A and B are shown apart, each in its own frame.
Chain A
Amino acid sequence: MFGGDRAKIKKILPIVGLFVFVVMAGLGYTLDTFSVQVLTEALIMSLFAMSFALLYGHTGLLSFGQGAYFACGAYGFALALTRLQMPFILCIFIGIFMACVWSWVMGYLCVRLSGIYFAIMTVVVAQCTFYILFQWYSVTGGDNGIQGLLPPGFLQNARHYYLFVLFVVAFIFIAFHTIVNSPFGLSLKCIRENTVRSTFIGIKARNHMHKAFIISGLLAGLAGILFCIHTRHVVPQMANWQNSGNAVFMGILGGASSVLGPFLGALIWVLLDAFISGYTERWPLVIGFILFFITFFAPGGLMGMIKYYFMRKTKRMVTET
């Protein structure tokens, strides 16, 4: 990112990360409750954006159906909590498990396709998930969803919940960073650059894509669980195209192929959502135009722009000296 300073950056990265973490934790105590809730949502949504970014930015698979796994995790959690009365932590794992199973099944179908077929199939899968949640009234509560998802006492406080989410997201962020830079992550990049040639050097492309699909389903499911605890209810609209579109929007806005991009995208999206929707009802219009211009003029997103800026700067310094 900064040319020759790469090694130096790598050395101070953990310190910067810890600093950001401490500042974020401090914000949870100093800001007012509304801002803390907005930040909580931003953190949760960054997981959702990450699940899109892992598929699109790192593997080159364009998924328009991340909402399906988001909803799947949320419903798995909600059903376990309200119908089966299980302990809270177990419910979270059940939700993650549900999202993984659903993405395993659907991933099996989707990764057999490439390019446009893949994108279409993810849309269809998401719409079908929405349809099942909407129609299966006796289990999912249909249009009403499930209300009253209360976490255990100490998490009912918005600030405590913020810290809980912050810990989870920090853990996932480190895990995500590790995965992306592991041999597995590098082979995903190889698949993105050229699927056919990646098979020549012995990468099992379909197998790797399926794994990436499941991991992204897991991330989306976890985001769904944290989000439904945050809002205290689940609705079938979590699985529809608009919610999947939110993941696309956040991923693209921040820059899908960088690790920090989804965070940036989610933060901007949540801030816009919290403050613009107060001024105007035409929020989807704003989303549409931003997405349009970003994809048209800066496909790398905000992180791509930042990288481009620094690259140009270092290049200029090199030519001047």
Chain B
Amino acid sequence: MSIDLFINQLFSGLVRSALFFLVTSGLTLLFGVVGVLNMSHFSLYMVASYITWTFSKILLGYNFSYIIALAMAAVCMCTFAWLIERLFFRYLYNRLMPEQLLITFSIIYIIDDLSKVLWGATPLYIAKPDFLTKAINIGTISFPLAGIFVLVLGIVTGLGTWFLLARTRLGRILRAAYSHKEMISCLGIPIKKIYLAMFIFSVLLVSIAGSAWPLVGMVDLGQGHAILIECFCVMVIGGMGSFVGTAVASLLVGLTYSFGILVVPKMATLLIFCLAGVILIFRPWGLMGTVGRMH
């Protein structure tokens, strides 16, 4: 393998990892703190892409239309998340695990069909903002700025979330909310509000992912299901509910994909599946998860 090809694949693998990380981190954090696996997470990701597309179309021609669209999508998605939480999601916390999964699964049908009504079934492209259409050339290798932007977005969001979780008082409360739910409420911390905030935060993360996606691909109804295998594999490999594990696993999966595609062009996704399978046989709780979180 030539060095050019290597760097090229490395770069595309990193961009892919950033995207996987953005999509999965919200899902795994929500599971880690609240204990509910939101099956409709990927549909929310798709909705965020569609909202970004809509706003960047409305704002077409203005400078920084994309940045505004990204912010607006985040605002819309957070409002939507608040609505969902107040309407029914808050009743799920005390339910049995299969019922939680089934109810969030039924939301996939509803969200997907409503998006089909609103935005149609044809794939949509957004006009990339001027400052992201160029590429940086180093020697013979060119790095598209759109990819670099997604990468930076992933890194900044990841570091920000890590700082929030590991270094602030709120983060400590969040980490305690999973393991010592009763104790937290005994200390006078409003656990219901913490859960609401966590749900909105997870949707905020997926909204950033959904806004980043149109820069490197097209917006369509199947995009959530297309990324599903990789993201669930990331989640399982990293360990459910482990934030750092998710970051490591998304790097692993992204790079496996982009180098695997050179060896077995059609079967790169299956390679990731095999990776997840091997890890699950030897370490069923994932790379950085703890055994206690399996149940």
A→B interface (CB under 8 Å): 56, 60, 62, 64, 109, 112-117, 119-121, 123-125, 127-128, 131-132, 135-136, 240-241, 245, 248, 252, 282, 284-285, 287-289, 291-292, 295-296, 299
Given A135-B267, A282-B117, A285-B109, verify A127-B103 contact (CB < 8 Å). Answer: no
- Interface positions, chain B 157-192, Cβ under 8 Å from A, are none
| Residues on the A chain within 8 Å of B30, using CB | none
- B59 CB within 8 Å of chain A: no
Q: Are B280 and A112 in contact (CB under 8 A)?
A: yes
| Residues on the A chain within 8 Å of B106, using CB | 287-289, 291-292, 295
Assembled-state Cα–Cα distance A250/B40 (Å): 20
Q: Are B270 and A128 in contact (CB under 8 A)?
A: yes
Assembled-state Cα–Cα distance A241/B112 (Å): 13
| Residues on the B chain within 8 Å of A292, using CB | 103, 106-107, 110
Q: Are B113 and A112 in contact (CB under 8 A)?
A: no
- Interface positions, chain B 101-141, Cβ under 8 Å from A, are 101-103, 105-110, 112-114, 117
Write the chain B residue with the least CB distance to A283.
B113
Name the 4 nearest CB pairs between A and B, nearest first.
Answer: A288-B109, A291-B106, A288-B110, A292-B106
Chain A CB within 10 Å, residue with most, of B88, B117, B277:
B277
Given A121-B280, A127-B228, verify A284-B112 contact (CB < 8 Å). Answer: yes
Interchain pairs with CB closer than 8 A, number: 111
Q: Are A64 and B109 in contact (CB under 8 A)?
A: no
Assembled-state Cα–Cα distance A115/B294 (Å): 8
Task: List 19 additional contacts besides A64-B101, A124-B276; criterion CB under 8 Å.
Answer: A60-B98, A62-B97, A62-B102, A112-B280, A116-B31, A117-B294, A120-B232, A121-B236, A124-B233, A128-B229, A132-B270, A284-B110, A285-B110, A287-B106, A288-B106, A288-B107, A289-B110, A291-B102, A295-B99
- Which residue from A62, A136, A285, A299 sits with its C-beta under 8 Å from B114? A285
How many residues of chain B have a CB within 8 Å of chain A? 40
B→A interface (CB under 8 Å): 31, 37, 88, 91, 97-99, 101-103, 105-110, 112-114, 117, 225, 228-229, 232-233, 235-236, 240, 266-267, 269-270, 273, 276-277, 280-281, 284, 294-295
Q: Are A131 and B112 in contact (CB under 8 A)?
A: no
Assembled-state Cα–Cα distance A124/B228 (Å): 8
Given A287-B109, A291-B106, verify A115-B97 contact (CB < 8 Å). Answer: yes
Q: Are B112 and A299 in contact (CB under 8 A)?
A: no
Q: Are B284 and A131 in contact (CB under 8 A)?
A: no
Q: Are B269 and A296 in contact (CB under 8 A)?
A: no
- Which residue from B37, B97, B232, B266 sits with its C-beta under 8 Å from A124? B232
Q: Are B117 and A109 in contact (CB under 8 A)?
A: no
